[in-house]
Every structure is written in structure tokens, then in C-alpha cells.
Amino acid sequence: MTIVRLGYVAMSKYVQNASPSQTMTFKQFDKIADREAAVRKLERIANHNLHNTLRILKHNAASDIYFYRLTSRLIPLANHEELLDWNYLKPLKENLNEIGEYVKKHQMRVDFHPDHFVLLNSLRKEVLRNSITTLKMHYLLLKGMGIDPEHRCVIHIGGKYKETEKSLERFVDNWMVVPRAIQKMIMLENDDTSFTLDDTLFLCEKLGIPLVFDYHHHIVHHQTENWEDNWERIIKTWKHSPLPIKMHISSPKSKEKIRHHADYIDIDMFFHFLKEINGTVPQIDCMIEAKQKDAALFKLIKQVQLRDDIDMINRSTFRLK
């Protein structure tokens, strides 16, 4: 039966003073008269973020958590147009390598999910160019860690621009200018306002991209309510991936704020999904998108342990009976 592995996003509620997303605005950067000194400050912040990332990874390993989303804010201003000459990888090499070695030693799955400003179907050439630059940064960070970038970066399709079909077609056209190495890094996710599972499947099947199914997004935004009818198609988008199929799980904050993520996971909602897919794949990696981060994972596992339809494998992984 199917193995379920849980992960969480970026921040830990248990590791104190360990934000991996400390930043510096360009306005702050520009106020420092000595540009070299300003760059050195950026490098200190970036290395501090990497140091905290390693602290979180050690916490994860101690808690049997082997699936984790790295923050996309590790390197402040890395893609800013005024800093494109900054070789940020060189001063980060040692810390990036240490993270990569730790990930490989503990056989962890790590990946990224860039912010909403990555729009590969944008109408504007400069937005597309900046999006590709941002994706290149993620690619270089993974390479700097010695981690194979294939299928390590989840993005949304982009903007709908009031014309779904034309927006999908523009994604296909723009995809042709994305470097092949970055194409291989990408996974696509259905979203909660613009592009449904059906829309996302269209692109994933046409372009050979794995689809990360977001169950919560599908509930609040869909063309066809029964996602189960498309599950085999979702699985097939992963047929050439070296990684297990991946999905996102979150729960609505309330009936009034149905699109917002709750602090924790509704276990009944989650197991409604798991019962439907049990036995269809050997393993599924489930990324928890909840406000309470690893605390939400720990609470969910405590609830899972009380069930008689699972066998625990470790403190974040179980097998469905």
C-alpha cells in the first residue's frame, strides 16, 4: 500500500531565532555609501540564512522529517537589476556545500516554490526575463548544494489576464525561450483563483511537466469537481521523474475565508484524499502548507498515530493499509 511522507515549509516553530529569510531592501542597500560594504552586508545576511537553514535541517533529521521546502528568500536582492554583477555564489560556496552534504547524507527531499512574481506566461517581456532570472537563481543554488535540480521547483502557471486559453497558449510559447536545464527543474501546481487542475493538466501533458496537485486549491477552484477522474493522468505526468509524486495539503481557515490556509491540517479532509489514492502509487510526498509549519506536522502525526488504518514508518512517514 502507499507510503505517505510529510514535509513542511521553510520556517520552524521549534528552532528559535532561526529565520532563513532575513532580508535587506534595496532602499537600505542604497543608503550605504560604500557599495562594497553594502555587498558584504548582503553576503553576511545570506550566509546567516544558510546557517539557519542548516539548523532547521538538523532539527528535521532529529525529528525524522525528510521532506522540506527551502525558502526562496535565502539570498536578498540576488535578482535585483542593480546587482546583476554580484557573484553571490562565491562567498556562499562553503555553506551551500555543507547544506547539500547534509541533505544527501540524510536522504532528504528539498525543493523550492518561488513567489507569485514568477510569471512565465506574462504579456511583458521584462517580466518573463526577470522570471527566468529568478528561476536561474534557484537552479544555481541547487547546483551549489550539489543537488540535482530536476523537478525541484514548483511554480504556478501565472496570470490569467481574463483570457484562459490565450494565457495557456502564451505559457507554451514562452516555455520555448526557457533554457532546457531550467525547464527540467519545473513542476506546475493548480491554483485557487486562475488555473484549475484541468488547465494545469493540459500544460503538463503537452510540455512534459510533473503536476503537483493542490487538494485545497482544487476544492475552492475547479472545472470538474471529481479530481479522482484525473488522478491517473496526474500520476502519468510523473512517469519520467526520479522523485516520488508530490502534492500540497492545506485546510481552509474558515467557511468565510475558504482560500486562506488554516493553522493546522484537517485530518478528515486529508484522509478523504489519501483513501482515494491508496495503492495507486508506491509513495506520495505531501507538503503541508499550514500557518503553524512543523507544529502542524507534529500535530497531524499525533492524530495519525491514533488511527488503525495506517502503519507508522517513522515520525513523519506512514504506510496506508
Q: Residue 232: inside a domain, yes or no? A: yes
Confidence at residue 102, expressed as pLDDT on a 0 to 100 scale = 98
Q: Residue 225: inside a domain, yes or no? A: yes
Cβ partners under 8 Å of residue 151, min gap 6 = 111, 184, 185, 186, 187, 210, 241, 242, 243
Residues 263-294: b if buried by 16+ CB within 10 A, e if exposed: ebbbbebbbebbeebbeeeeebbbbbbbbbbb
Residues in the chain: 321
Residue whose C-alpha cell is 509524486: 245
Residue 256: other Cβ atoms inside 10 A: 7
Q: Residue 30: inside a domain, yes or no? A: no
Q: Residue 116: inside a domain, yes or no? A: yes
Q: Residue 211: inside a domain, yes or no? A: yes
Q: Residue 219: inside a domain, yes or no? A: yes
Dihedral pair phi/psi, residue 43, rounded to 5°: -65, -35
DSSP annotation of 146: T
Strands (E), the chain: 3-9, 67-69, 109-111, 153-156, 186-189, 211-214, 245-249, 283-288, 310-314, 317-320
CA-wise closest residue to 283 among 318, 237, 232, 239: 318
Q: Residue 272: inside a domain, yes or no? A: no
The string of DSSP codes covering 282-296 is: SEEEEEE--TTHHHH
Q: Residue 209 in contact with residue 178, Cβ under 8 Å?
A: no
pTM over 0.85: yes
Dihedral pair phi/psi, residue 194, rounded to 5°: -115, -60
Confidence at residue 157, expressed as pLDDT on a 0 to 100 scale = 97
- Encoded amino acid at 36, one letter: E
Q: How many domains does the chain have?
A: 1
d(CA 20, CA 172): 34
- Encoded amino acid at 175, one letter: W
Mean pLDDT per 10-residue interval, the chain, length 321 residues: 98 97 94 94 97 98 98 94 92 98 98 94 95 96 98 96 93 97 98 96 98 98 94 98 98 93 98 98 98 98 98 98 97
d(CA 302, CA 142): 33
Confidence at residue 79, expressed as pLDDT on a 0 to 100 scale = 87
Q: Residue 220: inside a domain, yes or no? A: yes
Contacts 24+ apart (CB under 8 A), 27-34: 29/77, 29/83, 30/82
Confidence at residue 120, expressed as pLDDT on a 0 to 100 scale = 97
* Neighbouring-strand partners of residue 249: 288
**Which range of residues forms the domain containing residue 146?**
112-243
CATH label of the domain that carries residue 214: 3.20.20.150
Confidence at residue 84, expressed as pLDDT on a 0 to 100 scale = 87
Dihedral pair phi/psi, residue 103, rounded to 5°: -60, -45
* Neighbouring-strand partners of residue 284: 4, 245
- Encoded amino acid at 189, one letter: E
Confidence at residue 162, expressed as pLDDT on a 0 to 100 scale = 85
Confidence at residue 72, expressed as pLDDT on a 0 to 100 scale = 96
* Neighbouring-strand partners of residue 287: 7, 248
